[in-house]
Amino acid sequence: MESLDLKHLSKEEILDFLSKIVFELKHRGIMKTNNIVAELGEDYAIKKLNLNSKPKGFKDYDAEKDGIRYEIKTRQKVSEPYRKSSSQYRLNDILKDYDFLILVMLNDKFVVDCMYKFPRKMFNKDTIPITKKLLSIEEVEKIV
C-alpha cells in the first residue's frame, strides 16, 4: 500500500478517516471499543498465545485458556518530550482476579515491540512502574 499523505486533509476529514478505520477494525473483530491501543494489544496477545477472549464489558480479566485467566495491559512507546524513560509507563488497575498479566508494548506504528507475561502474585499494589528491573525479574517471561 502506498503511503497516505494526510497533510492536505482538514481535521474533520482526518477524524472521518479515523472513524472509518475504527469501524473496519471493529467489523473485522479486532476491536470491541474505541480504545485503539488497548484493543490492538489484546488482539495481538490473544492471537499470539491462542487465548479465548472474554466478551465486551467483562470486568475480571480479558482472556482465558485451559482455566488460566489473563489480564492484558497495553502501552504504546511514544517519543514525547515529557517521557524521559520507559519507567514513566505504569501498569494501572492491576489488582484483579487473574492468574497472569500480559504486558504488550506497541511502537508508534501500533506494532508489537515486546510482550511480557507476569504471574499475578508479583503485584501487591494497584499501580506499578514498568522498569528494566521489573522486566528482568526471573519470574517474568518475555514472549516477544
- Polymer length of the chain: 144
Q: Cell triple for residue 116? A: 511480557
Within-domain flag for 6:
no
Within-domain flag for 122:
yes
Task: State residue 56's pLDDT score.
Answer: 81
Please state the pTM of the whole predicted model. Answer: 0.88
Check if the beta carbon of residue 30 is closer than 8 Å to that of residue 40: yes
Within-domain flag for 116:
yes
CATH code of the domain covering residue 79: 3.40.1350
Within-domain flag for 2:
no
Q: Tens of pLDDT along the chain (144 residues)? A: 677 788 999 999 999 999 999 999 999 999 988 999 999 999 999 999 999 999 888 888 999 999 999 999 999 987 665 555 555 688 999 999 999 999 999 998 999 999 999 999 999 999 999 999 999 999 999 999
Alpha carbon distance 114, 104 (integer Å): 6
- Residue 119 is classified by DSSP as E
* Residue whose cell numbers read 502501552: 75
- Residue 59 is classified by DSSP as -
When divided into structural domains, the chain yields a total of 1
Residue 106 lies in domain: 11-142
Within-domain flag for 131:
yes
